[in-house]
Amino acid sequence: MLKEFIFDFAKQKEVIYTLGTKAPNYIVSSNDNGVFVETKQSRKKYEEGKKDQPYGLVNKDWFGRALEILKNNIIVEASHFEGLGKRHSFFLGYLSSLPFVKKIENNKLKIKQFTTLELPESTIDQALAMLTELINGEYNASSIREVFQDDNTQRLKSRSRQSLRILGYLDENFELLHTDGSFNQVKKNILHAPFIHMVFELLKYMSSYTYDQKIQLLMEIAYLTVVSSRDHTPIKESVADYRIKKIMSWLKFAQLIDDDGNVIDMGIENDSDQNLNKRNYWWVNQGQTLKDERDGGFLWAPKKSKRGTPLTHHTDLLKAQPGDWVFAYSQGAIHSICEVTNSAVSGNKPSTFNTDQWEEDGNLLRVHYYQLDSQILKNDIPEERRKK
């Protein structure tokens, strides 16, 4: 079914950009044999009378072959697709547009990887019930075994606790990060969970499939992308089926999909002009901590320098609010745009930071990274256009 979906996905795209030159490949129409693609070159040849049509056919079977090449290699680049003729750049660009594929350095691609910890086991109601209990101070999330003696209750609470981590309410040490359990905030948090967000993006292209077909297709994608958090073996069929159905129920709760699994809301909310005016924009310069912060979905800064002096440009993290945007740059180039998901909290220097340059005590801001396909030089943005 995944092989068929790869072709169906292509039929719903309007344009594919090559990764190297960003050249547009317009998908003008399709039939059972493939899709018809027009480029600037093919249009020029048509206008010069060298072609009968301004487009060419990309055979349906080639999409299946491109998928197999991707699956059989850990990392792929344009040279892997040279067997597909002059379309190798097109297929590299096409595969990069798939929600379960990640672009890495030097225009290379790899299949995204998740662990089972990123897929919920509990219902959303169970998770939110636990959130209420934690907010009311009935117990600490780290003390489930001490508070609940019954094995079944322990198991259910443990699953709910992990769901709250997925939703961003708990950190990796099970400390409560924020307490806004409103519908809109939960809806937003659901879409900020990386695997769930990927599922939502995939569902946008599955409207022609039945609900059962959607589940089967999402399970096939889970086999490619998810490994056990315990032994890193591929996710088992029963686990994939259970977790995918839980995700679908979460999306239904958030009114993002209907009973047939079709997307009914293409975003969280349309921002009014008033909301846009309230949103703040920030800059952050990332150096040696870039990879750790991006992989962890956060920004961290020390509260004071080694000399004990407060750092104003670092304490700005405390001013950022959920919904704000942060332009992250390194070596003078903007590489990512980050959406703030939670207010800043106090947090020790992450253990992955291999530097003694800063004090241990700092502020941690949870963000969702949107990595740019092409970096933008900060100096290319006029000074008066930058909001500090």
> What share of the chain in percent tops pLDDT 90?
57
- Is the pLDDT at 116 greater than 60, yes or no? yes
β-strands 281-285, 325-330 pairing: parallel
Position 198 scores a pLDDT of 95
Position 375 scores a pLDDT of 83
Position 348 scores a pLDDT of 72
pLDDT in tens, 215-249: 999 999 999 999 999 999 999 999 999 999 999 99
What is the 3-class SS of 293-352, one letter each residue? HHHHCEEEEECECCCCCECHHHHHHHCCCCCCEEEEEECCEEEEEEEECCCCEEEECCCC
360 DSSP assignment: S
Position 351 scores a pLDDT of 64
Beta carbons within 8 Å of 33's beta carbon, 6+ residues apart: 57, 59, 60
Position 385 scores a pLDDT of 60
pLDDT in tens, 181-205: 889 899 999 999 999 999 999 999 9
pLDDT in tens, 346-377: 777 676 665 555 566 778 888 888 888 888 88
Q: How far is CA 321 from each of CA 120, 260, 293, 328, rounded to the nearest angstrom?
A: 26, 35, 18, 16
Position 305 scores a pLDDT of 60
Position 69 scores a pLDDT of 94
Position 78 scores a pLDDT of 87
> What share of the chain in percent tops pLDDT 70?
88
Position 276 scores a pLDDT of 46
Rounded average pLDDT over 253-267: 85
- For residue 78, the one-letter residue type is A
Pull the structure tokens for residue 240: 């994939």
Pull the structure tokens for residue 83: 């067997």
pLDDT in tens, 140-177: 999 999 999 899 999 999 999 999 999 999 998 999 99
pTM of the model as a whole: 0.70
Rounded average pLDDT over 102-126: 93
**Predicted confidence band at 387 (pLDDT cuts at 50, 70, 90)?**
low
- Is the pLDDT at 313 greater than 50, yes or no? yes
Region for 294 from its dihedrals, namely left if φ exceeds 0, alpha if ψ lies in -120 to 50, beta otherwise? alpha
**Predicted confidence band at 292 (pLDDT cuts at 50, 70, 90)?**
confident
Rounded average pLDDT over 80-97: 88
**Mean confidence (pLDDT) of the chain:** 86
Position 311 scores a pLDDT of 57
- Asked if 77 contacts 92 with a C-beta cutoff of 8 angstroms, the reply is yes
Closest CA to 218 of 228, 238, 236, 203: 203
- Is the pLDDT at 89 greater than 80, yes or no? yes
- Is the pLDDT at 35 greater than 50, yes or no? yes
Position 6 scores a pLDDT of 94
**Predicted confidence band at 386 (pLDDT cuts at 50, 70, 90)?**
low
**Predicted confidence band at 380 (pLDDT cuts at 50, 70, 90)?**
confident
